[in-house]
Amino acid sequence: MRNHSEKLYSVEFTKLNRESDEQYFGNLHKDIHYSQFQRVSDIPQFREYAEEFQWSNREEFADYNFTRKADIFDFIQQIYSDWLAAASEHNIRFTQADLFKVDEAAWNRLQQRMRDKKSDYPEMANGHMPNGLFLPNEKTASLSEISDPDELADAIQERELLAKIRARQRARQTPSPQ
């Protein structure tokens, strides 16, 4: 495993007045043909990058000064900000499932913090996290892809109905003997 103080990629960020991905993302996204991918976790360069910056090793990232008690929302925002921007710009998915595929520890911490902060941030159910982070779950991401208002209303109604049915089924299940 590489020493995390050595940068895997030399990235120069110039977010304003960029003319190309290379100007904005530096070498990090060089030679990626986004049209070949439907989700960010399918991109080999993303998986390699994520392997270098795991939540469980966050204290080793000298450039970020993360502590053991670092906030997961800040971690995702800082570590994956360029990938989130690229996914948005190229219209490919970056969801909580993608985070799970590359960093299960970060995903587990995210789920825990979402449960803890649910009352403070009710929009988290729709993928809107603190610090302006947008990381939807699969259901929310699939709903955002529907452009027809009638079709969207039908999908939301079906989703709510299925949730009610599953809740009734869970309520009817008898507890297992211990």
pLDDT tens column, 109-153:
999 988 888 788 777 777 788 878 888 887 777 777 777 788 878
Residue 15 vs residue 75, higher pLDDT: 75
pTM score, whole prediction = 0.67
The structural domain count of the chain equals: 1
Distance CA 86, CA 25 (A): 9
Answer yes or no: is 1 within a domain. Answer: no
Buried b vs exposed e over 60-79: b needs ≥16 C-beta within 10 Å?
A: ebeeeebeeebebbebbbbb
Answer yes or no: is 6 within a domain. Answer: no
Q: How confident is the model at residue 30 (pLDDT cuts 50, 70, 90)?
A: low
- 162 lies in which domain range? 21-172
Answer yes or no: is 46 within a domain. Answer: yes
Asked if residue 87 has pLDDT above 70, the reply is yes
Answer yes or no: is 63 within a domain. Answer: yes
Give the pLDDT confidence score for residue 117 in this predicted structure. 83
Answer yes or no: is 34 within a domain. Answer: yes
Answer yes or no: is 10 within a domain. Answer: no
Distance CA 38, CA 169 (A): 34
Distance CA 127, CA 140 (A): 7
Answer yes or no: is 12 within a domain. Answer: no
